[in-house]
Amino acid sequence: MSLRNAAAAVRENAHAPYSKFKVGAAVRSASGQIYVGCNVENVAYPEGTCAEAGAIAAMVAAGETELAEVYVIADCPSPIPPCGGCRQKIKEFAGNDVKVTMATTDGAERESTVGDLLPGAFDTDHLERK
């Protein structure tokens, strides 16, 4: 299954009763396995959790920690970018050159890289005192 098909399929499972804005994400790990996630809203936290975070959590739960590719899709006028928090989560498990494809349900796509989506990202180099 392609990342696009996996993300589009899981998007249908999104729980978005407040925003009605369903988002699906699929990530490919370094091993080639595909993991999926969708957004989940609740009454106490109506903005909910993000699709990309869910896909990454599934990958980590399976014992993997390296992203090779990311795909995110929603029903919107232009390709949907990951939110700021998800960009940082993606960066935690991916190199700057990892491809991120943003898409609409109508078929529009835009490709970028993790480095282009999150320039100047906080990483472990910031934790080391020299």
Q: Order across the sheet with 99-104: list the strands.
A: 34-38, 23-29, 67-74, 99-104, 109-113
- Residue pair 92/66 in contact by the 8 Å Cβ criterion: no
CATH architecture of the region 3-127: 3-Layer(aba) Sandwich (3.40)
* Catalytic entry in 12, 41, 47, 52: 52
Q: What is the pTM of this model?
A: 0.91
- Residue pair 79/34 in contact by the 8 Å Cβ criterion: no
Q: Tell me the per-residue pLDDT of 94-126, one tens digit each, with 9 for 90 and over.
A: 999 999 999 999 999 999 999 999 876 666 676
The residue ranges of every structural domain in the chain are 3-127
Lowest mean pLDDT among 31-35, 58-62, 86-90, 100-104: 86-90
Residue 111 catalytic? no
